[in-house]
Amino acid sequence: MKIAVLKETAPGETRCSAIPETVKKFTALGAEMAVEKGAGLSAGISDEDFKEAGAKIGTRKDVLKGAGAILCVSGPEPETLKDAGRGALLVGELDPLRRKVAVEGYAKAGLVALAMEWMPRITRAQSMDVLSSQSNLAGYKAVLEAAAAFGRAFPMMMTAAGTISPAKVFVMGVGVAGLQAIATAKRLGAQVSATDVRSATKEQIQSLGAKPIFVENVAGIEGEGKGGYATEMSPEYQKAQAELVSGHIAKQDIVITTALIPGRPAPRLISDAQLATMRRGSVIVDLAAEAGGNVEGTEAGKTVEKHGVSIIGAPNLARTLAADSSALFARNLYNFLSAFWDKEKSEPELPDDDEIVQAIRLTRGGKVVNERLASS
């Protein structure tokens, strides 16, 4: 099988869907690797690096011709894939719910579109989970962005001139990004607290040395949605959480918000009224900016100031760590395809009854076949 690696064309996209390491691994499986010229440059990988790993370098038309699989980070526009053959696999983050027209275009082109962000959160798929690998880096970078914008130091410092108190950091949403944000803020010496709608995360917060801030005495609410993701809460819970957050947030220097609900606008966690209670010079990093933001007034890709508080609308911070995020993303793709690799045919076989295949396959045979997409 020929595997094509595309150069990303989405605005601001710096990542690459392959690295020399995965090129070598695919070649060892019997695949022929073809990389679009310049695909890895923004991630610090030259065409010569890919050549040395065993890949051929060419134009998009060259790499797509005869390819049985096409690797990407962000889903390309269907018209840019006109040279791909029918039945080819398109593997990457395809943003199905917001790009339904593009998904229909993939179907018309005869491609088998596989949305890696819909990977089920099950044990055998952990090494294939692009959301987790990229969110881990985003959580880390969110704290660095906050530290750079904050006008004070993070750790307690005892000096001859007096003592500097530690910064107070509050993390809202304790998924992969939130946990890494907690760990990073603790390493920098901050006093950290965190909250989440999923009660199971309380122990995770404590294990990292942070203080859990949770709504108590609201019966029957766990916040655990399908696949381990958070789900929307009842009005009673939302009211109780707003009151709790209002009292806590006024004392914080830095807030990191990470709450997302798959396929839905980001939940509103911080209102303008709550912003007004925060100290001047405080910083908020909103990791949900591209989905509408957790904070009232967030603008994706911009830093805005309201009531003396800086709100950083962070759009996909993993892109700012292109070398590491590319390496993790590329390994996710390799781990997925190699798990289904048929050694005799030297290509992946995707069984119809497999839980992973059912979850991520969007199109096949010229049609949109994913139930989740069809019902949305």
Residue 226 confidence (pLDDT): 52
For strands 157-159 and 162-164, give the pairing: antiparallel
What is the share, in percent, of the chain residues with pLDDT greater than 70? 95
Half-sphere exposure of 341 (CA within 13 A, CB side): 19
Query: Does pLDDT of 66 surpass 50?
Result: yes
Q: Is 237 a catalytic residue?
A: no
Cβ pair 87, 110 in contact under 8 A? yes
Mean pLDDT calculated for residue range 299-321: 95
Residue 68 confidence (pLDDT): 98
Catalytic one among 17, 42, 129, 253? 129
For residues 112-135, one letter each, b for 16 or more C-beta atoms within 10 angstroms of the residue's C-beta and e for the rest, the string is: bbbbbbbbbeeeebebbbbbbbbb
The pLDDT tens digits of the residues spanning 155-184 come to 999 999 999 999 999 999 999 999 999 999
Q: Is 191 a catalytic residue?
A: no
Residue 44 confidence (pLDDT): 97
Residue 197's pLDDT band, with cuts at 50, 70 and 90, is confident
Query: Does pLDDT of 220 surpass 50?
Result: no
Q: Is 202 helix (H, G, I), strand (E, B) or coil?
A: helix
Mean pLDDT calculated for residue range 121-134: 96
Partnered with residue 342 across adjacent β-strands are: 347
Query: Does pLDDT of 228 surpass 60?
Result: no
Q: Is 131 helix (H, G, I), strand (E, B) or coil?
A: helix
Q: Is 246 helix (H, G, I), strand (E, B) or coil?
A: helix
Mean pLDDT calculated for residue range 12-26: 97
Cα–Cα nearest to 148, from 317, 307, 283, 304:
283
Q: Is 124 a catalytic residue?
A: no
- Structure pTM? 0.91
Residue 211's pLDDT band, with cuts at 50, 70 and 90, is very high
∠ at Cα 9 (7, 12), nearest 5°?
Answer: 115
Domain 2-128+321-369 has CATH 3.20.20.20: no
Residue 231 confidence (pLDDT): 55
Domain 137-320 has CATH 3.90.25.10: no
Tell me the H-state helices in 226-271: 235-249
Catalytic one among 121, 338, 358, 372? 121
Contacts of 210 (CB under 8 A, 6+ apart): 171, 182, 186, 192, 193, 194
Q: Is 126 a catalytic residue?
A: yes
Residue 232 confidence (pLDDT): 57
* Cα 32 from Cα 27, distance rounded (Å): 6
Q: Is 342 a catalytic residue?
A: no
Structure tokens at 7: 């150069």
Partnered with residue 162 across adjacent β-strands are: 159
Catalytic one among 229, 246, 338, 372? 229
Residue 218 confidence (pLDDT): 62
Which amino acid, 12? G
Q: In angstroms, what CA-CA distances link 245 with 19, 65, 273, 284?
A: 43, 55, 12, 14
- Separation of CA 226 from chain center: 18
Query: Does pLDDT of 271 surpass 90?
Result: yes
Mean pLDDT calculated for residue range 142-150: 97
Size of the chain, expressed as the number of residues it contains = 376
CATH 3.40.50.720 residue ranges of the chain are 2-128+321-369, 137-320
Structure tokens at 166: 């530690």
Residue 39 confidence (pLDDT): 98
> Average model confidence (pLDDT) for the chain?
93
- Range with top average pLDDT, 235-239, 269-273, 355-359: 355-359
Q: In angstroms, what CA-CA distances link 52 with 24, 45, 76, 117, 258?
A: 9, 11, 27, 30, 39
* Cα 184 from Cα 208, distance rounded (Å): 10
Mean pLDDT calculated for residue range 239-251: 85
Query: Does pLDDT of 109 surpass 80?
Result: yes
Residue 245's pLDDT band, with cuts at 50, 70 and 90, is confident
* Cα 56 from Cα 84, distance rounded (Å): 17
Q: In angstroms, what CA-CA distances link 369 with 284, 347, 374?
A: 40, 22, 7
Bigger pLDDT: 195 vs 240: 195
Cβ pair 93, 102 in contact under 8 A? no
Mean pLDDT calculated for residue range 241-261: 90
